[in-house]
Structure formats: C-alpha cells, structure tokens
Chains A and B, each alone.
Chain A
Amino acid sequence: MENANWQVLVLMLLFSGVILWKISSARKGKELYIRPIPGLNAIDEAVGRAAELGAPLLFNPGLADFQNIQTLAALGILQHVCKVAATYGTRIIVTTNVPVMVPICEDVMKSSFNEAGRPEMIHASEVRFVSDRSDLAALANSRILIEEKVASNFLFGAYDYTSLIFSEGGQIAGCMQIAGTADYYQIAFFIPSCDYVVMVEELFACSAYLSRQPTMLGSVVGQDYGKLVLLILVVIGVLAATIFGHGNPINLYEQVMNLK
C-alpha cells in the first residue's frame, strides 16, 4: 500500500524468480553442490557424545517469536536433532522464552520422533517455557545445563545481549556447544564459548543441508545466485556513481558534456 513502489516489486520478482528457478532446476534432477558446514556436520557428533555419556541434549530455538525467520530455521534444525536423538535414544530438553513456541516445539518433536519410529521418546523429552525475559531464560538455561548434566547444548535462532550468558554457561558446565544465529554481532560472543558456530546465511541453509531435499537445496543455490545479482547491481551502482555522480570530481559524464 503506501510502502509499495516499483523498485520493491522489481527486486522481489527478481530474487523470488531466481530462487524459484533454482528450485525448479533441482526438482528436475540437477545435481547441486553446497560446501560443507562444519557446525551442522557436528550435530551427529554432539548427539553421539550425549548418548555415550547417557546425558540429555539441550536445545534452545532462540529468543524471538515464531514469526522470526531465524526461529523457523531453528525449528528445521530441531527436527533433525530429534531424528538423530531418536536413533540414539537420547533425551532432549527444549527451552524457550516465547510461550507460543511451547506447543510448536512439542509438535515438531512429536512428529520427528514418530517419523524416526520412536514415538515413546516424546514422554522422556520435554519443552520448558522458562521466562519471557531473555536474561532470566539464559540463567534458567545455565541452571538446567548443570542440574540435568547436559552433554550437548544447541543454541540456534535469534539472540540478544544474553547470548554470552547462554554460551558461557555451557562452557562452564563443560558441554559440547553448537550455536547458530543470523545476528552477526552475537557471533562474536558465541565463537569464544562454543565448539562450532553456524553463521548468518548458513543458518538459513540448515534445513536444506541437513535434509538434502532437492527443493531446499535449490533454494540455497538460488540465494547465492541472488547474491550474484546484488553484486552486479552494486558494481553497476558504483560505476554509475563514479561516471555520472553529481559533484564527483571524476564525473566523466559532465566532463564529456562540457567538452561538447
């Protein structure tokens, strides 16, 4: 409506078109390559460690609401973690500071355990709403890590200043930690305390990387093509500003026009 303008329309069509084109190529059977993401490869290792120690896993899908895209990406990872945990018989505790995430996470876990053929695991695992405040959620997380003697801690989603309390709590408890967020200024806090960190766009590639489904792989490749389009636009913009930029000392256009 008032926010509508043709530039947004063109960009949306361009990026969506590229992503959908790549999805359709993938569905037609084209082989697509995604580089290895160490943090995601380590999920199996983390779950295995918990199984060996006979200890549970702790998963936190971030501090944001369900509508946040990072939370949606985190749910995709939760699904994979549940399936792997089901094969090992490892208990999962999911903590959240958003009330509406409780039934959503329970649903994801139930479906994943059913798919893995271990529906009884839902009774051993649980989803806990800890507090709606991020700082209290971080402390509650740290307490659960110690009380339940958690072996592996997963922190995926949107985080704020409490990210260091989340991760350092796990570091002190001696857990293996894998974190992932698109909030790039929190990555600096995760890196010193976590064993693996999944950064920014890698988080959005998680579902595709873990499931290896053609549709999802296609969308990840489409993302990269979208970045290429942006790069071309940036280069064109830089050149245009250089050649035509008003007040630019090396404005070639003005120089040419003045000569004429």
Chain B
Amino acid sequence: MNARKRLIAFVTFIAGLYFVLEFIVPPTVPLVTVTGVALSKRLPVFQLETASGQNAVVEADPSVTFYVLRRSKSGTFEPKPQRSREIQKGQIVTVRTRTVTLGGFGPNGERLDSNGNPIVLRQGEVPYTTDGPDTSLPVWSFEKLMGRVGPDGEAILAMLDEGEAINIEIRDAKVADVDRGQIVLKMNGESRTVPITDYSVIMLNKRRSQPEEVEMHSVQVGDTVSIGPNTWLRDQRDTATQFYAVVGTLALGMGLISLGVVNIRKIKKRESEWYTAFLFFGAIVIGVLAGLGKYELTGTRSRAFSDIIVLQVINAMGSSIFSLLAFYLASAAYRAFRIRTAEAALMMGTALIVMLGQTPFGMYLTGWMIGTFEFLQLPNVAGWILRTPSSAFVRALQFGAMLGAIATALRYWLNLERVAGMGDD
C-alpha cells in the first residue's frame, strides 16, 4: 500500500468512525456510569475573580447562564452560552446571574424589582441594560441602581422605566475554583452520594425515549438519572459541524473556477456561440450584486434589485424549467405506457385509480357511493393503496437500498472498494 492510499484509507476510516460512534457509543462511558433515582442534590459553585479584583461566588441555579467569548463569522468576539459542566478552572467567563424586571422605588428610594423586592447586588455583580444598540452598557454603579443621581447630573437607572429588564452579570471573571456539586441517588434500595467531576455528564432517563443531557439544576427529586464520564467526541460535535460547513462552502469556489476556465477557453478559441461566455461573466457580477443586496432591509435600492433578480427573474426562469417536466411527462407517459402484459394492465389500473383519487375528479366520479360502499370512493381506494400496499413496497425498496448503502459504505470505510482515484491506482 503506498503512502497516498494509506492516507486516504486512514482519513476515510476516521471520518466514518465518527458516524459509527454517534450511533453506537452512549454519551457516557458504559459500566462506569451510575444510574439511580435522584433524592437530593448540591448545585455546582464557582469561585470567580473579577477584573476589578473582587471575589464572587456563583451557584449554578436555573437563572445563571455562563458565556465564553468565541470568534463569530464576522471575525468579532461574541459571548456564546456554555454549559456549566464545560466551564473549567482558569477560564475567563461572563456569568449572567439573573435578569431582573424593574419595579418602582422603595420607601428609602431603593429600586425594587417587579415583585416588590429590593434589588440586591452580590459582590462582583454589575447591572447591564438589555435594550438599545449596545447591550453591554453598564448601569453605572450600585449607587445609581438605588436611583441616585449620576456624575453628569442625570439619574441613569432612575430613567429606566418600570417593566424594563436589566441583566445582572459578572463579566470577564477568571474561574478560580469549581465545586461541581453532588447528587444523592437511590440505587438498589441504598442511597449513594455521587460527586460530580469535571468530566461528568448527567443524563435524564425518560420512559420510552432516549436519555437527554441536563444541567444539574434541572434534576428534580424522583428523576432517574445516569451520571458518568463524558466521551470526548460529544463536545466536538459542533466543531465537526462547522468544519463540515466550511468544507462545503470552500467547494463553491472550485466550481466557479471550473466554469471560468471553460468560458475563457470558449472566448479565446472563438468556439461556437462564444459570445455567451460574456453573458456568463456578466451573470456572475449581477449575481454577486443581487446576493449582497439580499441582506439589506426592505425598501432599500440594493434589496429591491436583489428581489427583482431573485423573485422575478430567477423565479420565473426556474418555474419555466419546472414546467418543462409537465410536458415531458405527458409525452413520455403517452409513449411508454402501453398495455402489453397483464402486469402492465394492473399497473395502469392502479395508476389511474391513484391519479384520479388524488384529484377532485375522483370525488366527482365516485362521490355518489355512500354508506356501505363509501370505501369504494376513488379517494378512499387511492388512500388505501398508498397507505397499505404501496407503503409495504416502499419499505421493501428502502430495505434493499439501505442494505446496499450499508454494504457500499462498509467497503469504502474499510478500504475494500477498488475505485481509481480513491488510492487504488
């Protein structure tokens, strides 16, 4: 086996292995996982060091969301939600501890929430507004939260109306320590305390459906849960998806290059109808402009241009091509559907019943059959044919296609397929 063939075989095997593992390996490591009924729990607690040097303690209850900065498609860094079990010591995180809806003011001028309780900020917490173009605008300081005047003479939070929401967050804090908590499970009649580690996954077992990963705070007393070490592949699924999407998009460029080469050659060699190659390049320019305008708001010129090209030109042309099918179908059906054998007659009869049954004419023709003979109405007969015998045949075809696909996939995966270009020269 030469090096190229070995490389192709290895890459193919690894890529196929991922899909195989997706359907075989459970999310937690078997035999090490413990399963039982939840009796009680202690939520994870995160010790944070804020950018200003303060120490904060956050318990991962349902109102808490952790964010980690990730690079977005536009190249900027944006906070992305992260599961609490994925937050590791030393990581820089932003924690939204809660979202509060503002109420009125208390007797001492303190700001209340919508339930009439005073808004109390714990150490390290800073309130941020949720609306406006920049949701990262901090609501100055705790004093201002109390409704007092800001340094520029304006009451900032006091300006926020009752019913407006603020996010209370700890931004850019370093995770100093993590206590993942524990769950007490009832297993085989005994209770057992299961500590949650950095690599634990909690799966909620449901009757008659697949287990689902949940956060600790979602576990209720009485739930049957499985706790075990995570399989590393699980957390890389999003990466795999993005890689897949990137490769798919890269391929578009290759197609354009191929078309460009063909058309340039056409112009150079003055092949038949070579002037159509100019139309190709013109169409690329128009397509790019139309594509850029697609994201503009309705009413702008570029959006209007894009809509004209897509909705009126391409739309109409696409429909015309599709309409070819109807005519081709009619001529192909006329040419080919001749009854020469008994099987052909049976097929023809079935086709006529199903075709007429799916159009209202079937009801016109047989709608008079009511009562005991209602089942003989063409739509009912057509429906029965589609739901019963046709379904059975489709299943049989799908079994065959599925097994063929499995066999072909196995051959490629295990490098048993002898196809040139796949390393077998």
Direct contact of A and B (CB under 8 A): yes
Total number of residue pairs linking A and B with CB closer than 8 Å: 187
Q: Any chain A CB within 8 A of the CB of B3? A: no
Q: Would you call the interface of chain B mostly helix, strand, loop, or mixed?
A: helix
Known contacts A72-B408, A211-B418: A2-B24 contact under CB 8 Å = no
Roughly how many angstroms separate A35 CA and B36 CA in the complex, as a whole number? Answer: 55
A135 adjacent to B321 (CB under 8 Å): yes
Residues of B near A102 (CB, < 8 A) are 254-255, 258
Q: Any chain B CB within 8 A of the CB of A251? A: no
B24 adjacent to A4 (CB under 8 Å): yes
B325 adjacent to A203 (CB under 8 Å): no
Known contacts A1-B26, A204-B404: A111-B416 contact under CB 8 Å = no
Residues of A near B211 (CB, < 8 A) are 2
Roughly how many angstroms separate A149 CA and B211 CA in the complex, as a whole number? Answer: 59
Known contacts A69-B405, A136-B321, A201-B404: A115-B27 contact under CB 8 Å = no
Q: Any chain A CB within 8 A of the CB of B72? A: no
How many residues on the A side are at the interface (Cβ–Cβ under 8 A)? 73
Q: Would you call the interface of chain A mostly helix, strand, loop, or mixed?
A: helix
User: Interface centre among A103, A129, A216, by most B CB within 10 Å?
Assistant: A129
Question: Chain B nearest CB: distance from A191 CB in Å?
Answer: 7
A192 adjacent to B337 (CB under 8 Å): yes
Closest-by-CB residue of B relative to A70 is: B405
Question: Chain B nearest CB: distance from A77 CB in Å?
Answer: 10
B399 adjacent to A227 (CB under 8 Å): yes
Roughly how many angstroms separate A161 CA and B248 CA in the complex, as a whole number? Answer: 23
Known contacts A2-B211, A135-B322: A220-B407 contact under CB 8 Å = yes
B255 adjacent to A192 (CB under 8 Å): no
| Binary CB contact string for chain A from 156 to 189 against chain B (1 if under 8 A, 0 otherwise) | 0000011011001001000000000010100001
Q: Which 4 pairs between the two chains have the least Cβ-Cβ distance?
A: A99-B255, A204-B404, A111-B420, A192-B336
Question: Chain B nearest CB: distance from A7 CB in Å?
Answer: 10
Q: Any chain A CB within 8 A of the CB of B137? A: no
Q: Any chain A CB within 8 A of the CB of B368? A: no
Which one of A3, A115, A130, A213 lies within 8 Å of B22 (CB-CB)?
A3
Q: Any chain A CB within 8 A of the CB of B253? A: yes
Q: Any chain B CB within 8 A of the CB of A52? A: no
Residues of A near B324 (CB, < 8 A) are 165
